[in-house]
Structure 1
Amino acid sequence: MTTPDHKSPAPQLTVPLAKDRIYRSPMALVAGVMMLGIAGWLGFDALVRGHGHTPWLALAGMLMLFPLIVAFTLRPAVFAGEERLRVRNPFRVVTLPWGEIEFLRSGFTNEVVAKSGTKYQLWSVPVSLRARKKASRNQSRAVAQAARGGAGRGGLFGGGGLGSFGGGAFGGDVFGNGSRTAADPTRAETDKIMDELRETLERRSGESAAQGGVTVRWAYEVMAPAAAGAVLLAILLATG
């Protein structure tokens, strides 16, 4: 007696989502580590060698200060995924699906503006006026080099000029297609990050998986110990 063959279902291939791109401030990370090191050294020295209320004051100060240092230096980050933008600021985490973002704005600070009109600052992508001035100088230098290269056309090598090899001088396009590269020195680093986020917004805002509501979560794990340290410090100073 033969039994009918039962075909097993074909395995379904699932395409994993791309990992989130993470944007953080290197200078903030360095400053945070240095500040934690100095505060820890001074605090533990006061705990070990202090007398009277000094160890308790040091303990309360570290309890208040450490979370704040972490919150403003090590904690801020921006996570850009295929479905949403997650902004981790010092005291809260904001998750915005790309479909709920109206635009990304750069001024004295970099901000994301939701369709409801609410704006959220990107702490980990700070605006550097110094970097913008440096990029502006590089752009002016590139324009001047391009002008000198253009003036030399018609000379050696059939009219290209040494300065215009490959379709332009060092400013502008090294690939001959008019697009900026990731190593473009004429744009500040944070401005290039905002350009990448705007490109992702334009590409993903209409996708069905990138829709939903904006969520905000307060960072009680940072706020609670800092508040406890502040209360303890105030009590010690008042009774001391």
Structure 2
Amino acid sequence: MTSPTPPAEPAYADRTFRSVPGLVSGALLILLVGWIGGDAVFRGNGWVPWQALAALLALVPLIVAFTLRPAVFAGEERIHIRNPFRTIVLPWTDVADVRASYSSEVFTQDGRKYQLWAVPVSLRERKRAARKAGQAAHDDPYGRTSAHVDVRDTHARVAAADQAVGDLRELAERAARRTEPGTTTASVRWAFEVIAPAVVGAVLFVVLFAIG
């Protein structure tokens, strides 16, 4: 008796793009806000504890939205973009281009544009990478390369945002060469799990501040 044949592995699994500085700064901000707000809750008098709780309810979701939440998941059939207040899912067939100028952006076939918050563009990093590439060209003006080229050094000559955009373009091109139709449909959803508590907290803070 033969065992059942396992399902074929996808050509490439989902790739995740996130901003490490954003994650670190978000965690630090939450700790700072939590420490200040907690101190006001436990030591404050009158309406101060309630105002602090309302402020925490408004601020923490916003910090999460702009630092911890942004991510880009690129798979075989689609790109999943998680921005601060929206989640966008696009099949690769709907993607016309991926660019990184002053920000990283995805352009669709019908002219829509979505920013990739998880792939921030650093002009300073781009200039540093350009200097390294220029130095490498100066050291090897005829394009001669050693058999022991360090791949990490090659990647260091490209800014992180440009490298990520290049990877996304490659995934889009590979998906475009497939002949079979995909099953993913485009969708845009507002992140009410972030928006609702931030709005409620802001309203409560204004009301408590007015009556306090």
TM-score, length-scaled by structure 2 = 0.91
1:191 aligns with 2:169: no
Q: Which of 176, 190, 201 is residue 205 of structure 1 equivalent to? A: 176
Aligned-residue offset at 1:209: 4.5
In the alignment, residue 215 of structure 1 is paired with which amino acid?
Answer: S
Which residue of the partner structure matches residue 4 of structure 2? 11
Q: Which runs of 5+ in 1 are unaligned?
A: 1-7, 151-163
Name the counterpart of 1:42.
Answer: 36
Matched, 1:128 2:122: yes
Could you tell me which amino acid in structure 2 is paired with residue 51 of structure 1? N
**Bigger shift: residues 47-56 or 14-23:** 14-23
Q: Distance in 2 between matches of 1:114 and 1:81?
A: 17
| 1:19 match: secondary structure | coil
1:12-31 matches, within 5 Å, as 12-17=5-10, 18-31=12-25
Listed one character per residue, the Cα deviations across residues 12-38 of structure 1 (whole Å, up to 9, x for unaligned) are 431133431100000000100000000
Distance in 2, matches of 1:82 and 1:181, equals: 25
Q: Give the Å deviation of 1:213.
A: 3.1
Of 184, 202, 222 in structure 1, the residue corresponding to residue 194 of structure 2 is 222
Alignment partners' CA distance in 1, 2:145 and 2:7:
45
- TM-superposed deviation, 1:11: 2.8
Higher mean C-alpha deviation, range 9-18 or range 223-232: 9-18
Bigger mean CA offset, 13-22 vs 102-111: 13-22
Superposition pairs of residues 1-240 of structure 1, within 5 angstroms? 11-17=4-10, 18-147=12-141, 167-168=144-145, 181=151, 183-184=153-154, 185-207=156-178, 208-210=180-182, 212-240=184-212
Write the distance in 2 (CA, Å) between the matches of 1:51 and 1:27: 37
- The one-letter code sitting in structure 1 at the alignment partner of 2:9 is P
Distance 1:39 1:126 in 2: 24
Question: How far, CA to CA, are the matches of 2:94 and 2:148 in structure 1?
Answer: 36
Which runs of 5 or more residues in structure 2 are unaligned?
none
Contact 1:108 1:127 in 2 (8 A): yes
Tell whether the 8 Å contact from 2:103 to 2:121 is kept in structure 1 after alignment.
yes
CA distance in 2, matches of 1:100, 1:9: 42
Whole-angstrom distance in 1 between the partners of 2:159 and 2:76: 25
CA distance in 2 between partners of 1:25 and 1:35 (Å):
15
Larger Cα Rg: Structure 1 or Structure 2?
1
Q: CA RMSD in A?
A: 2.1
Could you tell me whether the CA contact under 8 Å between 1:100 and 1:211 is conserved in 2? no
Count of equivalent residues: 209
Q: Aligned partners of 1:54 and 1:188: how far apart in 2? A: 46
Q: Distance in 1 between matches of 2:157 and 2:22?
A: 23
